[in-house]
Structure 1
Amino acid sequence: MSLWKNRNFLLLLGGQGVSEFGSSITYVAMPLVALTVLDASSFEVGVLTAMSSLAFLLISLPAGVVVDRSARKKLMLWSNVGRAALVGVVPLLAALDALEMVHLYVVAFFVGVLTVLFEIAYQSFVPSVVTKDQLVDANGKLSTTQSLSVVLGPPLGGGLVALMGATRVMAVDALSYLVSVVSLLLLPMREEPPAKTAGFSWDAVRRETAEGLSFVFGHPVLRKVVACTATSNFFGAMYFALEMVFFVKELNAGPLLIGLAISAGGAGGVLGGLTARRVSTRVGSARMIWVSVLGLGWTGVLVPLAGPGWGFALIAVGLFGFSLSAVLYNTAQVSYRQAVCPPELLGRVNASVRWVVWGTLPVGALVAGWLATSLGVRETLLVAGAGGWLAGLWVYFSPIRGMRDVPTTEPVTA
């Protein structure tokens, strides 16, 4: 059956798409609140970025146990309710003239906590909605929706910030989470009862967490993929922590121009999502993992070479190529993980992967703030671009270089 005829998948796709759209607006609005409303420094913006991803380092592993023991749909639903409430606090505090940087730090951290739970449950939920041979196609379509939000969200967000102010715009993200809640409520499917139903003790958490970690690091391909993604995310966090600082303070760009530049990156992601199935057919769904990074990742180096005027176009080209590379890579590596992992371990395996690959984000953001203070913003972005590209060497020098396609047979054990 075509995915376009799968009602459950379409509800999941649509609800998450609206939520991603709202989040892409906040991606522009939150740092602009810090920079333009609270006059934050480069280091403070780096800390804000770190706070939004710190939860992946702190709670990803126990979150995987929670996901494998819980109804994933219900967990996703309540995570979005909480995120809507937290994001809605920012415009409320601003209206009361009481907003401070510490409030942004707290909101960013706890939204991150709920995002950890949602994302792990979400990736673990997809294989129950589609068949195994549809995973690449499904993940490609989900990535396309995310990338479309990046295309449309930032320019709209930039325009709304110029029209309404950055703090008020964040209310849009709060509403988008509620739309996702409604779509999840409309999902008619019922999940199988969680396999793990024993008492929730710390010994059980440690034992079950160890099972997920052992699978990931005992698997000859997965551990190399994790190393590649973690390295790429470290340098990506360096870039994203300074992106707005570079646009605003180095290039004197306004909100609308910033939004349009980021949208170019989203367009690359859309192309990646739309062509992922075709590329995987021609190149090989496993081979696509390393070809996408090493073949296209170099474009990230173009961004810090940009200047005012027409030089700003280098940002659009760089972000387009980088996003195209990232979506092709992520579609392939997530599909590989979902295919080889036993279903009863998937939550903990996803959590173990997220703990490593997202755990590098706060470290990268803090390093970016420190390096920018000592070396300069542009120079730090050059380091970030080169490092993200060379991360692909992890998977090039791995067993996956000798594979063409993601396995579609029963999951293997490590």
Structure 2
Amino acid sequence: MWKNKNFLLILGGTLIVDVGFWFGIIGNLEFLQQNIESSFYQSLFLIVGILMAVILAPLAGRIVDQAPKKNIIVLSSFVRIFAVFFMFAAIKTGSVWWMLLYNVFMGAAASFTMPAFQALLPLILEREQLLGANALLQNMMTVSRIAGTALAGFMLVKVSLFSLYLITLIAYIATFVCLTFLKVNEHKEEKASTTNKNRSRFKEVFPIFKAHPAIITPFLLVIVPYLFLAGFNLMIIEISELQNNPSIKGTLYMVEGAAVFLGSVILNRFLKQRAIVPVLLGAVTLVAISQLTLYFSTIHWMPFVSFALFGLTVGVYFPVSNTIFQVEVPQEFHGRFFSFKRMIESLMFPLFMIMTGYFLDTLGIQHMAVLYGGISLLLIVLYGWKVLRGNEDTRTMKVSALEASK
């Protein structure tokens, strides 16, 4: 895997583009604070990009299944470069409408990029390499999130908002250049896509769940980690205020990031011979426990325990679930499936974020922790009881089976 040039380019491209993305997020927040007082209106501008990704998901899925995936990834990278110039116009004029266009184009690029990346991995790697590759990509995204938010926050104190987006532009250009060097043999894919072009429909993704029941568990249980993930930043701010300790924010990010790496190590060394369903159920149970432990957020060290437990889940759950999808879903449906998956996650994220904000205001983090932990445990128990009584093959399939030769 480490000798695979294509994978190294994707790994490097993911790191650079994600750092640029988080620079853009921090820059957006700063620009909105300078130009819009209402928190409600600020949230509307931030959600626009997510809504665009949801709207374009059906079209993106069909195109990813029909067109060369490298071309889609490279073109999406160019769209990101183009979008940054709208932010330059926004900063120059002080108009939030230019920023709206920036978010629209960024959302459009994201709707194509992630499904294409997920569909490309099985084409450039051997099946037995997918689990490790997904774990590495998850770690890389964690590093970029921590580094991107920390660097952007530090730089805003030292440099102008324009300079921050200039660095973002340079990151996107570097990503574009890296990805143009991808060399992927997609001839077979292109031939199949041409044959099925006229009858390729987005709705064809739904029967896949019945035909491949192994994908149902990771697809549904993702609700639990997203319940935590969507309110991640809001909860960190709340804990910082609760303990009257601004410095705890950066430390919590680092603890969670380190736990993601540890989760990946545990997955690769100790969980490969375990059955997939218990591994996934165990991972989301850790999320429920991490939510419940937030009840003790007034105790200085307890939030570190909560975020470490969540980080362990991220390091295990997402690499396993992504590998299941890449292996179990037929390759000709990868684009549509991963677009549908991203569409659902894009809908969950703002919904859960708004819920978290509302409950933090009305209940406080301690009571919200009990509520979220209770909901998560109820979902885990109900679904776990059902799935463990279900199909024997699906229930007992081991993580190592994902690496077995076809």
CA drift of 1:334 comes to 0.9
Which of the numbers 114, 123, 128 marks the counterpart of 1:119?
114
The one-letter code of the counterpart of 2:3 is K
Q: Aligned match of 1:224 in 217, 223, 227? A: 217
Alignment of 1:342 onto 2:335: no
Cα deviation for residue 11 of structure 1 reads 1.5
Note closer, same or farther for the CA distance 1:278–1:257 as it changes in structure 2 (3 Å cut).
same
**Letter paired with 1:73:** K
Does residue 238 of structure 2 align to residue 246 of structure 1? yes
Aligned residues of 2:280 and 2:317 also touching (Cα < 8 A): yes
Which residue identity is paired with 1:278? R
1:184 is aligned to 2:179: yes
Measured in 1, the distance between the counterparts of 2:206 and 2:218 equals 14
Report the AA paired with residue 328 of structure 2.
V
Deviations 1:147-193 (A, max 9, x none): 22233332222211222255642433332222221111112333224
1:78 alignment counterpart:
75
Greater mean alpha carbon deviation, residues 170-179 or residues 125-134: 170-179
Q: Give the letter for the 2:396 counterpart.
A: G
Structure 2 residue corresponding to 1:197, chosen from 194, 197, 206: 194
1:280 aligned partner: 271
Please name the residue that 1:292 is paired with: 283
> Of residues 354, 374, 398 in structure 2, which corresponds to 1:404?
398
Distance 2:349 2:243 in 1: 25
Q: What amino acid sits opposite 1:12 in the alignment?
A: I
In the alignment, which residue of structure 2 is the partner of 1:271?
262
Measure how far apart 1:139 and its partner are: 0.8
Find the counterpart in structure 1 of residue 10 from structure 2.
Answer: 12
* Deviation of 1:121 (Å): 0.4
In structure 1, the partner of 2:140 is 145
Q: CA deviation at 1:15?
A: 1.6
How far apart in 1 are the matches of 2:244 and 2:38?
15
CA RMSD in angstroms comes to 3.3
Matched, 1:65 2:59: no
> Hey, what does 2:94 align to over in structure 1?
98
Q: Given the alignment of the two structures, is residue 358 of structure 1 paired with residue 346 of structure 2, yes or no?
A: yes
C-alpha spacing 1:160/1:148, structure 2 compared with 1 (3 Å): same
Percent identity over the alignment is 19
Aligned residue identity for 1:319: F
The alpha carbon displacement at 1:76 in A equals 0.7
Alpha-carbon deviation of 1:269? 2.0
Residue 251 (structure 1) shift: 6.7
**Is 2:215–2:328's contact at 8 Å kept on the other side of the alignment?**
no
Report which stretch shifted further, 148-157 or 123-132.
148-157
Give me the whole-angstrom Cα distance separating, in 1, the residues matched to 2:112 and 2:23.
22
Q: Note the C-alpha offset of 1:115.
A: 0.6
Matched-pair contact (CA < 8 Å) for 1:272–1:328: yes
Answer yes or no: is the 8 Å Cα contact 1:227–1:394 preserved in 2: no
Cα deviation 1:38-75 (Å, max 9, x = unaligned): 35444345435533422343232232111001110110
Question: Contact 1:236 / 1:388 at 8 angstroms: preserved in 2?
Answer: no
How much does 1:99 deviate? Answer: 3.7
CA offset at residue 89 of structure 1? 2.9
Q: Report the CA distance between 1:112 and its aligned residue.
A: 1.9
| 1:369-388 correspondence to structure 2 within 5 Å | 369-371=357-359, 374-375=362-363, 380=368, 383-384=371-372, 387=375
For residue 79 of structure 1, report the CA deviation from its aligned partner: 0.8
TM-score by length of 2: 0.83
Render the CA deviation track for 1:215-242: whole Å, top value 9, x for unaligned.
03553232232221145435532x1473
SS in 1 for 2:194: coil
Question: One-letter code of the match for 1:55?
Answer: M
In structure 2, C-alpha distance between the alignment counterparts of 1:175 and 1:292, rounded to whole Å: 38
Q: Quick one: which of 43, 49, 53 aligns to 2:50? A: 53
Query: Relative to structure 1, is the Cα distance of residues 234 and 106 closer, same or farther in structure 2, using a 3 angstrom cutoff?
Result: farther
CA contact (8 A) 1:33 1:167 kept: no
Are the equivalent residues in 2 in contact too, given 1:79–1:115 (CA < 8 A)? yes
TM-score by length of 1: 0.82
Cα offset, 1:384, TM superposition = 4.6
- For 1:366 and 1:337, how far apart are their aligned partners in 2? 29
In the TM superposition, residue 117 of structure 1 has moved relative to its aligned partner by 0.6
Distance 1:170 1:28 in 2: 10
> Where in structure 1 are there 5+ consecutive unaligned residues?
none
Q: CA deviation at 1:341?
A: 1.7
